[in-house]
Amino acid sequence: MSFDYYASLDKVKSCPQQVNEGGLASGFVDGCSVWFCRDGQKNKARQSYMKRAAVELNPLEPELEPNFAPLPDSAWFGIDVFFTLKSPWYSKDDRPFHVLDNPVRKDRVFGVPFMSAASWKGLLRWACRMQAGLFDHLERHNVKMDDWKDPPWIVHLFGNEKGEQENFCAGSLIFYPTWFNKIGFEVINPHSRTRRAGTQPIYYEVVPAKTEGRLRLLYAPLPGENERDKVTPDHFIDNLIGSIKALLETYGFSAKRTAGWGTAEVDKWAGYTKTTAQPPKAEPRSKKKTLHSLQDLSALVREQSSPGSFTSEDAEGFKAEMKSRIVWKRGD
């Protein structure tokens, strides 16, 4: 079926012109890729794609983003980290057929660049390990992971390694994708050692610097997990927030991190906890709302919920506020 699809695109006599978010996932990009393979059309197809892809994309609808307001348990909490890229972000897409050699990873439905939840989990686990002393361990063991064991708080948050047979757990920390709304391009031009001149430019499709993003985490332990692992949030909250800050601002969370790509500046921290406020008073019958759909019901829940949210522009202030709320909940 895929060969029939590209064969039908080959019958098109003109280079594609129309593009939208969905076209960056299929349609437009597929048409440009077909034109790229034609004699004498390589540069034209590439420039056509780059010109129309480097526009600001529409953000996703708010309904598609997770909502931390109705947290069901007082032991759960959510964290939002708002950041702005200081250098380009790149993660290679897995499309086998593309007009560029290095396309950025995009959602197959919406066509917007995104950082997957699994990628966030792996990188943040590595940052937490560095916080727990992995760097010193690698220096002592010739840059090998031999005899390294994750501390209990890392296993509690992220779960066991793959292949663990006994006492396997998935981890109490849930990750969400990060969506971006801009696309840019970087060029790497390798130079000949003899002539010391550029040979063939290599184009990278990236999320450009100064693009805003958001990292979303939900701590949701199952009943009895804290007692089983002998770990509570006030034991790991300092290390977790410190690892997030180091990952975003120091290590980077992009491919080609060694070249300085994927670093960001944290703009704001936001926390969400379950409150124990008094229930709202019943409204008079004349003011009660009539619900006509599930959308009306979800809107009413958002209006009446008390998320207990708070924000901070400083990581240390966010740590202190989060720990005070955790202690307050434990003593409640």
pLDDT for 309: 83
CA distances from 50 to 29, 31, 53, 140 (A): 10, 13, 5, 47
DSSP 287: G
Mean pLDDT for the stretch of residues 17-36 = 68
Band (259; pLDDT cuts 50, 70, 90) = confident
User: 274-326: per-residue pLDDT in tens?
Assistant: 764 433 444 444 445 555 554 554 454 444 444 478 888 889 999 988 888 87
- Is 24:106 a contact under the CB 8 Å cutoff? yes
Would you mind telling me the total number of residues written for the chain in this entry? 332
Q: Which ranges of the chain does DSSP label H, i.e. alpha helix? A: 2-9, 28-36, 42-53, 117-131, 134-140, 152-158, 225-229, 233-246, 294-304, 315-331
More confident position, 194 or 310: 310
Q: Residue for token digits 């409204």?
A: 283
Task: Report domain extents, the chain.
Answer: 1-53, 69-179+209-331
Rg over CA atoms, the chain? 24
Which residue, among 66, 98, 104, 323, has the nearest Cα to 211 in the 3D structure? 104
CA gap 170, 160 in Å, rounded:
7
